[in-house]
Amino acid sequence: MSRRTKFGLIAGILIVVVGGLFFLTAASRNKRAVEVRFDTVQPQDLVASVTASGRIEPQTKVDISADITGRITQIAVKEGDWVKKGQFLLQIDPSQYEASVARAEALLSASTASQVQARANYDQAERTVGRAKELSTSSPNLISTEAVEQAQTAFDVAKANLNAANAQMAQNRATLQDSKDQLAKTRLISPLDGRVTRLNVEVGEVAVPGTFSRETALLMTVADLSVILAKVQVDETDVVRLALGDSVRVTIDAFPDTAFVGRVTEISNSAQLTATATAGGSSDRAVDFDVEVTISNPPADIRPDLSATAKVITDTRTQVPSVPIIALTVRPHEVVPNESAPSGSEAADTSEKKMVDTEGVFVVREGIATFTPVKVGIAGEEYFEVVSGVQLGDSIVAGTYQTIRDLQDSAKVRAAKIPAPGGGNK
């Protein structure tokens, strides 16, 4: 055997040995157990809820604005005052409207006098034409036909003048009533019992009608605080889970140590578009729905526009099999089409299998984690209800999140070491 042949043989043996060692090392690494946290399928009381934020609002409030233009001369209330229905609130300068009433009264007096005069002329013309006709019938030679016609014409004119005077008097009467109505609008009174929750003006400012801008015309707001609402915005994906009468736990930022009980009393049928969605005009925009919650026993010093958070209870379960939310994951799973009862051509070939993403958990048996599809029900704060797929007492992988995300089916697992309080592991 030549030297070159010997060196080639030795090199080949070394390559085989190094490759074998590498393969054994890799195999041992693959067989190394993954450290995970274990849990068991156990019965839990679950509460499904939807959380949304919004603001406190009174059920009934009235925004008071002016129907006329004028300078504010008196404000009889302050923001926060309690008022009664009919109580005087604010005075707008009545000078020009009082003058308008005076002019209308004078015109009505003048038209009344004209109507009296027209009535007298009408009565006189009516008597004259009556005598002329009677005389023409009894003694035709004593009165000419022309005189009878003149009397009739004078009567017709008097009648027309009386009708015009009546119409003028009615017009002036309506003008007077309108002037009085305008004058009455200079004095604003409370439309309901409640509290002045907003006062936007000061004495000396000019009140204007809200023809073009409601915000500019708003003088004050009076709210009935006997019934308080929490108006919250619920995402479109959650609103379908709500129903009228659902129990609600309301927390108000201004009362951090107190939770209030309420009920869902109204769910909007149309969405309130967010500012971003309105500006963007995208077809996949996010939308929210207004939901009103009536608070049962609101605090006496509550105010509108306080920030609030409502937790709506949508469903409950008592002692149902449950798994931690973190344990649920998604993996491609091989299914037979006829197992899911498809219809049409998909069910023609029952022997063909396909892979679909399926929700499930890793069930641990004898140190091996096997992905098992499950069907879940409602979700609590930390647990999912399990309808099918696993049984009470089954051991499952429950953490960590990254471990479950990377875990492979049929992987070998062992319990992770939990750091002791004083340091080290146990």
Helical (H) or strand (E) element with 414: strand 411-415
Average pLDDT over residues 243-256: 94
261: CATH: 2.40.30.170
Backbone φ and ψ for 282, nearest 5 degrees, come out as -80, 150
- Higher pLDDT: 9 or 220? It is 220
Domain that includes residue 112, residue range: 94-185
- 88 within a domain of the structure (yes/no): no
Is 244 found in the same domain as 311?
yes
**d(Cα 297, Cα 226) in Å, to the nearest integer?**
10
Is 244 found in the same domain as 172?
no
Angle between helices 95-138 and 145-184 (to 10 degrees): 160
User: Of 315, 339, 370, which residue constitutes the final position of a domain?
Assistant: 315
Domains held by the chain: number: 3
Is 227 found in the same domain as 306?
yes
**d(Cα 45, Cα 49) in Å, to the nearest integer?**
13
User: Of 285, 315, 345, which residue constitutes the final position of a domain?
Assistant: 315
User: Of 185, 207, 237, which residue constitutes the final position of a domain?
Assistant: 185
Task: Assess whether pLDDT exceeds 90 at residue 324.
Answer: yes
400: CATH: 2.40.420.20
* pTM, entire model: 0.66
- 258 within a domain of the structure (yes/no): yes
Q: Where are the beta strands (DSSP E) in 1-159?
A: 34-36, 38-40, 42-65, 70-75, 82-83, 88-92
Is 135 found in the same domain as 120?
yes
What amino acid occupies position 291? V
In the block, residue with structure tokens 């736990």:
249
132: CATH: 1.10.287
The pLDDT score that the predictor gives to residue 343 is 43
Is 378 found in the same domain as 290?
no
Is 396 found in the same domain as 337?
yes
- 52 within a domain of the structure (yes/no): no
**d(Cα 266, Cα 255) in Å, to the nearest integer?**
24
**Cβ atoms < 10 Å from Cβ of 50:** 22
pLDDT in tens, 345-395: 444 444 456 778 899 999 999 999 999 999 999 999 899 999 999 999 999
- 216 within a domain of the structure (yes/no): no
Is 260 found in the same domain as 240?
yes
Confidence of residue 216 (pLDDT cuts 50, 70, 90): confident
Is 303 found in the same domain as 366?
no
- Higher pLDDT: 142 or 288? It is 288
- 212 within a domain of the structure (yes/no): no
- 148 within a domain of the structure (yes/no): yes
Q: Which residues contact 150 (CB under 8 A, 6 or more apart)?
A: none
Question: Which one, of 197, 181, 187, 186, lies nearest residue 63 by Cα?
Answer: 197
Is 294 found in the same domain as 326?
no
Is 406 found in the same domain as 360?
yes
The pLDDT score that the predictor gives to residue 344 is 44
- 65 within a domain of the structure (yes/no): no
**d(Cα 235, Cα 287) in Å, to the nearest integer?**
6
- 118 within a domain of the structure (yes/no): yes
Average pLDDT over residues 143-156: 89
Is 243 found in the same domain as 160?
no
Using alpha carbons only, give the angle 158, 164, 169 rounded to the nearest 5 degrees: 125
Is 141 found in the same domain as 122?
yes
